[in-house]
Structure 1
Amino acid sequence: MSAPDPGSGPSEWSVPGQVGVGPWEGPWPAGEHWDPELLEHGDRRNVVDPYRYWRREAVAADLARRAHPFHVAIENLGHDHNIGTVVRTANAFGAGGVHIVGRRRWNRRGAMVTDRYLSLHHHETASGLVRFARERGLALVAVDNLPGAVRLEETTLPRDCVLLFGAEGPGLSDDARAAADLAVSIAQFGSTRSVNAGVAAGIVMHAWVRVHANLSDAW
């Protein structure tokens, strides 16, 4: 990809509190990944600076190229509002894909448009997710306070895996629990039975990153 000409670059927004950058100043950079409309009008999207002015498809393709070998799955049994948060966090940690198990429709507000840059999959039942994992050699890791679950803090997550989270409230379905190759729980010290599903997903993804990710690739 070509570098922009010296002396060219983004302009700052003049509106206080405006997110993003203004129209590109100077000659436009060359390359298929640049978006002419964003170069002309500015880029207000919630993306890191290296992706400013890039076409959405180009951002998604680059993220796929850099993706980690873990996937994230969450059961959607009752239009769970936490799914958007899980998707946004999966984007931040470079997940290889996100899987919605159960209902196809989910509240996307919490995703903050990050779902447009990820590989999204839908499975009607847990068996569909299990088949996806088995065909690709991915270990299925259930995250829940289950009998026999090992503490996340005392184990190492598999490198190639699917991190599976249950719906808020009921937790993982019986089928998902039965199919798991490994079950992990998060150490807690308060009165609540479990932490929010979106929070749990962030904790577990970060645990994977600490062990397996190349931190030199982080922004």
Structure 2
Amino acid sequence: MAGNMGRRFNKRKDMLLRFERARRRNSVSAEPGVHDCILVLDGLKPDFNIGKIFRSADAFGALEIHLIGIRAFDPEPAKGSVRWVPFTMHDDFAACYQILKQRGYAVITMEPECSMQLTHCTLAKKTAFVFGHEEFGFSFDPIQFPDIQRVSIPQWGRVQSLNVSVAASIALYEYVRRHGKKKASLKADLHAEEMERCLM
């Protein structure tokens, strides 16, 4: 019993050390992604899915990630992506929501039982997808925020349950499918930025 507790303590301590190293690198290297899409992670478990979502956010060029009620997480599953994707921590969803609305964002909660499906919903260019805890869902009641759009991912299996990191990847793909920058234009934008820096 004592041995198991000691191993769990050491595992958490190692995770916190990895997180602090990743956060320091992030503060120096992270830059907003090329798309106006934001991910909001509400109280997710710290050990696995958050890192994988950072990896997808980097791959799809998400602007940034907001973390609700999450003090630390294991960056290892991100395979280095935590270094590049900006993230902000909030104590509660209401504070995050207010910031997003002030910036003109449409907010979408991803919920498995909603009738409105991701493939048919309105996706504004400035969209923030919100994902809840793997077991307990959201820390807030979406009904209390009337302008939030509640959306599900269509599924055909008997078990209507997708891993949250998979759901985030699907949401990002659908966003990029509709609003994604073409790589050629992206290279042109980056070239223009480099030229501008040289002239300054």
Q: How high is the TM-score relative to the length of structure 1? A: 0.66
Q: 1:103 and 2:55 equivalent? A: no
Aligned residue identity for 1:123:
H
1:60-95 deviation per Cα after TM superposition (whole angstroms, max 9, x unaligned): 44xx3x521111111125435211111110111111
Q: 1:112 and 2:55 equivalent? A: no
TM-aligned CA distance change 1:176 to 1:128, over 3 Å: farther
Check conservation: 2:26, 2:82, Cα contact below 8 A: no
Q: How high is the TM-score relative to the length of structure 2? A: 0.71
> Of 118, 121, 139, which aligns to 1:152?
118
- Tell me, in whole angstroms, the C-alpha distance in 1 between the residues paired with 2:48 and 2:143: 22
Check conservation: 2:51, 2:74, Cα contact below 8 A: yes
Aligned residues: CA RMSD: 2.4
Aligned partner of 1:164 in structure 2 is: 130
Aligned partner of 1:128 in structure 2 is: 95
In structure 1, stretches of 5+ residues that fail to align are 1-54
Aligned partner of 1:174 in structure 2 is: 140
Provide the aligned length of Structure 1 versus Structure 2: 161
Aligned residue identity for 2:135:
G
Aligned partner of 2:106 in structure 1 is: 139
TM-aligned CA distance change 1:213 to 1:58, over 3 Å: farther
In structure 2, stretches of 5+ residues that fail to align are 1-24, 188-200
TM-aligned CA distance change 1:202 to 1:77, over 3 Å: closer
Moved over 6 A (4+): 55-59
Superposition deviation, residue 177 in structure 1: 5.5
Q: What is the aligned-residue identity percentage?
A: 28
Check conservation: 1:76, 1:106, Cα contact below 8 A: no
Q: 1:199 and 2:199 equivalent? A: no
1:70-126 deviation per Cα after TM superposition (whole angstroms, max 9, x unaligned): 111111254352111111101111111011111211121111121111111101111
Aligned partner of 1:83 in structure 2 is: 50
- Tell me, in whole angstroms, the C-alpha distance in 2 between the residues paired with 1:162 and 1:177: 17
TM-aligned CA distance change 1:70 to 1:177, over 3 Å: farther
Q: Which moved more, 1:89-98 or 1:73-82?
A: 73-82
Structure with higher RCO (Cα < 8 A, 6+ apart) = 2
Aligned residue identity for 1:151:
Q
Whichever of the two has the greater Rg, that structure is 1
